Structure 1
Amino acid sequence: VAKYLKDHGYRIVPVNPNISEALGESAYPDLNSIPFPVDLVDVFRNTQAAGAVVTQAIDLGIPVVWLQLGINLPDVQDLAANTATICIDKCCIKAEHHRLMK
């Protein structure tokens, strides 16, 4: 998915404490470590870790959080309620991009 988005002109910012780079981009250990504004966080974590990522994104004022298929976080909309962050779940960003660009 990340390669697809990069191939379609999007800047990818890997966030993973276990790597130093991905797809030719420097990786950061967490969202707080990114030294520039982020427009969207696409979460590829297990359900247990996803809630913390969503909370961190909301706290940082990131406008959009996208949870990939397979992440089961039923209260994600509650987490974003009364914030400026939009949370999208139950669909794949790659599939949606492909569908909209037809």
Structure 2
Amino acid sequence: MPASEATAADIEEILRETKLIALVGASANPRRDSYGVMQFLQGKGYRVIPVNPGLAGQTLNGEKVYATLADIPERIDMVDVFRNSEAAGPVAGEAVEIGAKYIWMQLGVVNEEAATRARAAGLKVVMNRCPKIEIPRLGR
């Protein structure tokens, strides 16, 4: 297993300890994966705050949309990244700045440099996985 790979114990801890998720790259389009994952996570009892500068100020699945992580007035536990691997770098930096505990990069999103920086700041990092897949796999 690569050093960057999150362990099953890491994933279990993140899913157990997380209450408030910021979903970066949220979409209002029901056909987009980010939309379905947001609904799934809400159905599992997580509060999910959407982040998308183009939708800022609107409401998505019952939550106000924010332009950036820094705009969210509450402390975020996990930042779920629905952006490409390159864009995940700046998002990871923002996650560190706001004091998030965890950063989760969705399927296909891998940024080793960002993961290294986030871990150095004390965050646990998951890459190239989806909580909508991991939660049922772990029987949660």
TM over 0.5, yes or no? yes
SS in 2 for 1:9: coil
CA distance in 1, matches of 2:59, 2:108: 25
RMSD over aligned CA atoms reads 1.3
Runs of 4 or more, structure 1, over 3 Å off, are none
- How do residues 49-68 of structure 1 correspond to structure 2 at under 5 angstroms? 49-68=87-106
Partner of 1:46: 84
Aligned sequence identity (%): 37
Say whether the 8 Å CA contact 2:102–2:123 is kept in structure 1. Answer: yes
> Aligned pair count?
102
Distance in 2, matches of 1:86 and 1:76, equals 12
> 1:88 pairs with 119, 123, 126, which one?
126
1:75 partnered with 2:86: no
TM-score (norm 1): 0.91
More helix by share: 2
Structure 2: tracts of 5 or more residues without a match: 1-36
Q: Is the 8 A contact 1:76 1:87 kept in 2?
A: no
Query: Which of 37, 49, 54 lines up with 1:18 in the alignment?
Result: 54
TM-score, normalised with respect to structure 2: 0.68
CA distance in 2, matches of 1:95, 1:81: 23
CA distance in 2 between counterparts of 1:55 and 1:99 reads: 29
Task: Please give the alpha-carbon distance, in whole angstroms, between the structure 2 residues aligned to 1:64 and 1:28.
Answer: 19
Rounded to whole Å, the distance in 1 between the matches of 2:41 and 2:119 is 28
